[in-house]
């Protein structure tokens, strides 16, 4: 197992120095789901939630979340993202809203945390907008599914 990069030799938290790394095109895609009662999913698809269009607002929240990642995760580098795409879709067979986020940049460090944050914030927004009718919703399966670029190369989840 590799050493943890965010700890120095004494166990103190550090922000990794990426100053000597080459700038390369980097992408990351994350995914997750929020599970709910069938009636809640129908309210979302029928745009019947009183707070507004759940999917559009959650999409925007996910994009905003990716941009604010270093404000939320203490040792993340502030990045100049060149693209953030968040997609939400409803799956009536699983009573779920599925979320994916892809972040891109040309830089010295990866965008995995930005993609994961985008999915998480989008899911939390769905929960917030629908909690008045379904407090038992469950957020889950948030994971990195693809990453490319940088020294470590490509990763694809199995």
Tens digit of each residue's pLDDT (9 = 90 or more) over 121-139: 999 999 999 999 999 999 9
Burial degree of 111 (CB within 10 A; 0-12, 13-18, 19+): buried
Calculate Rg over the CA atoms of the chain. 17
Q: pTM of the predicted model, to two decimals?
A: 0.93
Note if 46 is an active site residue.
no
Mean pLDDT within 60-77: 96
**Token reading at 144:** 């990195």
Mean pLDDT within 61-89: 97
Beta bridge partners, 106, equal: 25
Of the listed 53, 71, 91, 128, which one is catalytic?
128
- Cα 84–chain centre separation: 10
Is 99 a residue whose pLDDT tops 90?
A: yes
Is 80 a residue whose pLDDT tops 70?
A: yes
Q: What is the reported pLDDT for 15? A: 85
- Distance between CA atoms of residues 65 and 73, nearest Å: 11
Is 73 a residue whose pLDDT tops 80?
A: yes
Mean pLDDT across the chain, nearest whole number?
A: 94
- Cα 146–chain centre separation: 12
- Distance between CA atoms of residues 62 and 77, nearest Å: 18
């Amino acid at each position: 197992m590799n050493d943890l990069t965010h700890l120095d030799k004494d166990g103190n938290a550090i922000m990794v120095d990426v100053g000597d790394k080459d700038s390369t095109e980097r992408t990351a895609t994350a995914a997750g789901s929020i599970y709910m009662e069938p009636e809640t999913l129908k309210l979302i698809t029928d745009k019947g939630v009183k707070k507004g269009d759940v999917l559009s607002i959650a999409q925007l929240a996910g994009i905003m979340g990716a941009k604010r990642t270093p404000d939320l995760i203490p040792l993340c580098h502030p990045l100049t993202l060149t693209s953030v795409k968040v997609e939400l879709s409803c799956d009536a067979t699983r009573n779920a809203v599925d979320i994916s986020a892809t972040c891109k940049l040309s830089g010295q460090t990866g965008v995995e945390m930005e993609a994961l944050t985008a999915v998480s914030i989008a899911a939390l927004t769905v929960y917030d907008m629908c909690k008045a009718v379904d407090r038992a919703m469950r957020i889950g399966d948030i994971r990195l599914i693809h990453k490319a670029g940088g020294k470590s190369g490509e990763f694809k989840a199995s």
